[in-house]
Every structure is written in structure tokens, then in C-alpha cells.
Amino acid sequence: MSPILLLDRVTRRFGATTAVDRLSLAVQPGEIFGLLGHNGAGKTTTIRLSNGLLKPDEGEIRVHGLDPVKHGEQIRLQTGVLTETPAVEGRLTARENLMVFGQLFGVDRPLLRRRVEDLLERFRLIDRADERVVRFSKGMKQRLALARTLLHDPKLIFLDEPSSGLDPVGAYEVRQLIHALSREERRTVVLSTHNLHYAQQLCDRVGVMERGHLRALGTAEELIRSIQPQTRVRISVDRADVELARTLLAQQFNEVDAAHTDGSLLVRSNATPAISATVARLVDAGIRIRSVVPHEPSLEDVYLALHKPQLTA
């Protein structure tokens, strides 16, 4: 299957700053692809390049097989982009915002009216559809911006920080929506986010960007395995026993952290010592154990590992 989005050694500079540096990646139809990275890593520039808003200095981009430099208008007709800020018109009502942008995407009026009503309903904005958006909360504006992204029924959707400004319920709803867009409606989603938990739950594959470079690419599991072959267990003991437990555990595990004030110790080992034997040894030493939990590495661990030199600096 040919990729719906293809970047081949793409570079974009702004003066002396290289925002995107020889970036190559391919996004397959129907997948949820996560673009992770700090502010300034090049995620937003990548989205802008893919939609023909910016021109690459080097390299080639293909979206639906088209070159954004030459066919930007055709590409933008088939893509939907949720920008980092909601970018909704405060002077217009929610319904007017959607109608105006639907017309800007050339959607026929009868169809547009139906879609606007459906989207207002879907994003729980129907009750305040005729209220000016300037009075909306940040979460409501974000929901309206998401609705606007879907107005012209795009097959490829770029979401730049979709959970930004949303309360936990709103963030959950957006997560469900992204899942539905991909799994039920067969749309391709490129998700740019800082929210690693979000990305791990949603994305089929992720790319970690740093200063314009793609530092890692793969499924969350692949990335976790690549950086984290260690076994990790979190053992919580009575606070009075923390030091003794640490001494005993250090004899068996490579690293022992007691960073938590609640008396829990995170132990890491390249080998896989039997946890039951370890626990038995602690019990024999009179240590009062509260819990023993295997600590599964997450995408956050991958991300932090990739950015470790920066964090250390």
C-alpha cells in the first residue's frame, strides 16, 4: 500500500535555524501516527510543510501522491488540520464559524448545513450553536475547532495538540473521537502531541522528533524494547524499613531508586531475578512490604531516554 503521507529527506530552515532536518517518514492510510517532541522540535513545521503552507528547502513531500508545493490547494481540500490554537472567530457564533469555513472548503450549502448540525451535535455544541464564540471556554473552542477540521470530510487529519486546554473529560472524549476517526471511519490521523500517555494509548506508530531530526520511529512497543530491556519492579515498604530494603535490594539489582516519599523503591535489573525470591528475602529480614508492582516501561520512558543528554545538561 502506498503511503498517504511521505517525507523524503525534507529540510526547512528559518534563517540560521534548521526547523526540520533531513526528515524522512511514511504514514500509511488508516493509521494513527504520533509525532512527539518538545516545543521547537519541528512538529508544527512538518504539518505546515505537508499542507503546502511552507516550502521545503530540500527533499520531497507527497500527500495523496501530490506535491504540496505544486498542488497545495488540492491537498488542503483532502486534509483537515487542527491548529495548535483553536483559531476560531470569536465574533461569530459556533454555527457561523462552521458555515463560513465550510464555504471556504467549497462544501455545497445543503450538505454543509446537514454536516454543521451533525458536528454541532457530535461535539456537544448544539445548545450554544448560536452564541458568539468569544464567550466559550477554551475546551469548547477546541471542540469547535475539531468540528471545523471535519467539515469537508478529509481522509487525512493533522491534529496539533488536540487535548490542549481540555479538562480530563474533554481529553477523554477527544481520545475516543480520534480512535473512532481512525478505526470506524478509516481516516488517517497524524497526531502531534506532548502528551505521551495519549500517544501511547492511541498511536499505531510514533516518531520522536528533536531539533528537526527524527530520533526514533516505530510502534510504542518497539521503541520501549529498544531502549528498555531492563526488568523493573516497584516495591513499597514501610518507611522505617526503606534503608534496609534498599541495601538488600542493591545486592540483587543493578539500580535501586527511592525517589518516592511514600517508601516505594524502584528497582531495575538487566537480568530477571525471581521476584518471589526477592520478596521472601525481604520478608525474612523483617521488612514490612506493602505492595510489589511490576513497573511496565512507557513511551514516556522512551521519550525521556532519548532526551536524556538534554535533561542531564
Partner 1 sequence: MKRPYALAIVRKDLKLLRRSRPVMISLISLPVILLVVLPATLVGFAVLAEVLGVQHDLDGILQSFSPEATAPLSGYTTSQKFVYVALTYFMAPLYLILPLLVSVVIAADSFAGEKERQTLEALLYTPTTDWELLLGKVVASWLPAVLVALFGFGFYSITANAVAWPVMKHIFFPNSMWFVLVLWVAPAITGIGIGLTVLLSAWVEGFQEAYQLGNLVVMPMLALFIQEVRGVIAFDLQFVFLLGAGLWLVNAGLLYFGYGFVKRDRLTRSV
Our finding on whether 65 is near partner 1 (CB under 8 A) is no
Nearest to 37 by CA among 229, 219, 302: 302
Which lies closer to partner 1 via its Cβ, residue 43 or residue 76? 76
Our finding on whether 289 is near partner 1 (CB under 8 A) is no
Contact stretch for partner 1 (CB under 8 A) within 2-10, 44-52, 169-177, 182-190: 44-52
**How far apart (Å, rounded) are the C-alpha atoms in residues 280 and 9?**
55
- Least distance (Å) between residue 42 CB and partner 1: 14
Q: Are 306 and 227 in contact (CB under 8 A)?
A: yes
In terms of DSSP H, where are the helices of the chain?
A: 43-50, 68-78, 94-104, 109-122, 138-149, 168-183, 196-202, 220-227, 242-250, 275-284, 299-306, 308-312
Our finding on whether 55 is near partner 1 (CB under 8 A) is yes
The single residue among 11, 28, 83, 228 that binds partner 1, judged by CB under 8 A, is: 83
Contacts of 210 (CB under 8 A, 6+ apart): 37, 38, 41, 306, 307, 310
Nearest to 3 by CA among 80, 47, 64: 64
**How far apart (Å, rounded) are the C-alpha atoms in residues 303 and 207?**
10
Which lies closer to partner 1 via its Cβ, residue 53 or residue 279? 53
The single residue among 85, 230, 269, 298 that binds partner 1, judged by CB under 8 A, is: 85
Which lies closer to partner 1 via its Cβ, residue 51 or residue 264? 51
Our finding on whether 101 is near partner 1 (CB under 8 A) is yes
Cell of 66: 501530490
Return the number of other C-beta atoms located less than 10 Å from residue 210's C-beta.
20
- Residues contacting partner 1: total by CB under 8 A: 32
Our finding on whether 67 is near partner 1 (CB under 8 A) is no
The single residue among 8, 105, 244, 275 that binds partner 1, judged by CB under 8 A, is: 105
**How far apart (Å, rounded) are the C-alpha atoms in residues 167 and 160?**
17
Contact stretch for partner 1 (CB under 8 A) within 49-57, 58-66, 211-219, 237-245: 49-57
Our finding on whether 106 is near partner 1 (CB under 8 A) is yes
Footprint (CB under 8 A) of partner 1, residues 131-170: 132, 145, 148
The single residue among 43, 48, 187, 205 that binds partner 1, judged by CB under 8 A, is: 48
The single residue among 11, 24, 28, 74 that binds partner 1, judged by CB under 8 A, is: 74
- Which residues on adjacent β-strands are paired with residue 91? none
Backbone angles phi, psi at 248, to 5 degrees: -65, -40
**How far apart (Å, rounded) are the C-alpha atoms in residues 122 and 116?**
10
Backbone angles phi, psi at 247, to 5 degrees: -60, -45
- Least distance (Å) between residue 215 CB and partner 1: 25
The single residue among 9, 14, 70, 114 that binds partner 1, judged by CB under 8 A, is: 14
Our finding on whether 303 is near partner 1 (CB under 8 A) is no
Binding site for partner 1 (CB under 8 A): 14, 48, 51-55, 72-74, 76-77, 79, 81, 83, 85, 87-92, 96, 100-101, 103-106, 132, 145, 148
